[in-house]
Structure 1
């Protein structure tokens, strides 16, 4: 059986996250987010373990994810499947604005995973592409660190554990959170606990 170890790392804070706005791919880390990511890297600098020769690091193409990876000292390749939800016409706008201007559309999006913002992508569609990527990792095996978005991690957990789609709303992923999924070739398992060795020295810059 092929063993797989996957660490999903949520990017650090952005202005959109702090202000309850729908994000976009160009949103970078705010000052506090960058400081937090650098502090995380410093805290782990004396406890870097090894993920093995087959280890890899990937990142969402979004600025927040690549900047987080850089701050953590990681050297990722870009993985389009890990991109955040495309919020279409809502990108950059606040929940409050949309609630006033398009209350029915916002209600539909929040209550039905198949509903998408105007010109955007539904959460169900995000799960489909993220789930396909997870299935590929499961078949390939190996050790992977993936820097991505809180919503992507939420739907990844839902897919991996075979939970009802609506469960994603009950999952809360904080900036810089690390979620670990492992498999011995049969099914995914969610592993909770301390992460003393989450960074592979082969994946960090010198």
Structure 2
């Protein structure tokens, strides 16, 4: 059976300040929490053999999360990158035009920042997920990316506001005639 373990990368300074994009490393609390997760039952090797490379987003936070979790080997996968935020990259919410921000948050097809819409990012991640239907392994990415993957697996729209993924959330998906979410 196909099984994927999805791990949201740990906290970064940008994530705590609600900054769009960037490539921050884990902060002190993020490193501490990641070390604590390492011995969690969510990471049991019997469910996810450690002889396969872990797929990680091309970010410092994903690399550091994998390192602190003792990933056996990692392969960066550009498909797991955060959405491109264009002109908003590196800017906190309070520096964004409120009308443009509202449009982005309520319309998944909107990209007022000149970057990637949630619909476009979701399409990229849906393609990635479809390529995993015969895979057993682990992937680490930004919490928003994990949220978009889970939404795609469950057939939910990309802007689903009632689906939240916190840093270091561990999610298990299996595939047999469709994806199943295990909590």
Pair in the same fold by TM > 0.5: yes
Q: 2:155 aligns with which of 159, 162, 168?
A: 162
Q: Which sections of structure 2, spanning at least 5 residues, go unmatched?
A: none
Q: Which has the larger radius of gyration?
A: 1
TM-superposed deviation, 1:53: 8.1
Residues 127-181 of structure 1 show CA distances to partners (whole Å, capped at 9, x for unaligned) of 000000100111xx131100011111111111111123332x2111111101111
Query: Aligned to 1:132, which of 127, 131, 137?
Result: 127
Within the alignment, does 1:123 sit opposite 2:118 as a pair?
A: yes
**Rounded Cα–Cα distance in structure 1 between residues aligned with 2:99 and 2:175:** 41
Q: Which has the higher helix share?
A: 1
Contact 1:56–1:143 (8 Å) recurs in 2: no
Report the equivalent of 1:174: 166
Q: 2 CA distance for matches of 1:121 and 1:66?
A: 23
CA distance in 2, matches of 1:150, 1:53: 22
CA distance in 1, matches of 2:83, 2:5: 20
Alpha carbons 1:87, 1:117 under 8 Å: kept = no
Cα distance in 2, alignment partners of residues 130 and 115 from structure 1: 17
Q: Distance in 1 between matches of 2:62 and 2:178?
A: 27
> How far apart, CA to CA, are the structure 1 residues paired with 2:46 and 2:26?
26
Give the RMSD, CA atoms, in angstroms.
1.9
Shift in Å, 1:65: 0.8
Cα separation, partners in 2 of 1:42 and 1:6, compared to 1, 3 Å: closer
Q: Mind listing any 5+ residue stretches in structure 1 that lack a counterpart? A: 193-206
CA distance in 2, matches of 1:17, 1:79: 21
> 4+ residue stretches of structure 1 with deviation over 4 A?
none
Q: What is the TM-score with the length of structure 1 in the denominator?
A: 0.81
User: How many Å separate the matches in 1 of 2:88 and 2:121?
Assistant: 16
* Whole-Å separation in 2 of the counterparts to 1:41 and 1:83: 23
For residues 102-145 of structure 1, the C-alpha deviation after alignment (integer angstroms, 9 at most, x for no partner) is 2221111111101114231111111000000100111xx13110
1:27 is matched with which residue?
A: 24
Pairs aligned (count): 181
* Structure 1 match to 2:104: 109
5 Å-filtered alignment, 1:1-206, equals: 3-24=1-22, 26-43=23-40, 48-49=45-46, 51-52=48-49, 55-74=52-71, 75-98=73-96, 102-138=97-133, 141-167=134-160, 169-184=161-176, 186-192=177-183
User: Residue 54 of structure 1 contacts residue 143 of structure 1 at CA under 8 Å; is this kept in 2?
Assistant: no
